[in-house]
Structure 1
């Protein structure tokens, strides 16, 4: 068990467990507790034992708080439902004593209430199926958009390659035109070629 530690870090009593009112409230308090426990440990085995005990207390503290919060939330929800249905009504809840934390929840056996609940469930199922279809359609559209994006990227690469080939061909065409002009200017008889000379 954890031991009580004074504000200056001294151990108050060697064997007493940490009482619930002295449990740290926030994350920084827990960190301080762990640091003090590790600082006060005499060796690795003692440090492991202290860490194990501290983690057990932390786990119990978290579980206790979560359970208390869940119970409080449940009480609030049931109280809201009871007040919304004016005591006993549409939801079939009944409060035994006002202000009492113990509530008795009775399931409504009234056929009309069951039909209303069934209709609500069917409406929710219908809405759920509509939402599933919408998500499916949106997923398909997203996939098509990604495919078109990839196709556009591929086409841009092809255009870039074709533009490079076009520049190369234009340069080659210009070079051939210049060679042709030079060859024609170097000919002794312009415009006429001797049939036997190549």
Structure 2
């Protein structure tokens, strides 16, 4: 699958800001049920999750280009941030809050300062794709799984929707990395 800009992904998902066809999120499936739906249609393995595997910077690797990107940041102290950037948009945090792992599922919850609708996944599974080696992927169980079902459960769509860990940082650098990420905090961007 060719790489696409993040804006193209937003349009494909119908999630562009104010887009009239933005899907209403259905009631979330239980994580075990979500996993069964996914595993019954694609040859993926669910990987065990621990904080060391999660901590770091995750990119939507298949949508990443020189013109746009989407990143999740997970910090060892339980903080997370999500950002978007493009050639005409500086990196901007679209979500901010805390994460936790329960029953091998990553849950993210927004900070009270996030007063806008983020329309993003709030639960993630860590997956291994078919074949030996290759990076683990984080797949959202809310909007991303629903979209994957609508598009027919192909590995190309899974690669397109899932995040891949780009890097981690030593514990001593986490504070500096958080400060760098927070420079992209622009809540005024979301106010009308």
Normalised to the residue count of structure 1, the TM-score between the two structures is: 0.17
Higher RCO, Cα 8 Å, sep 6+: 2
Higher strand share: 2
Normalised to the residue count of structure 2, the TM-score between the two structures is: 0.18
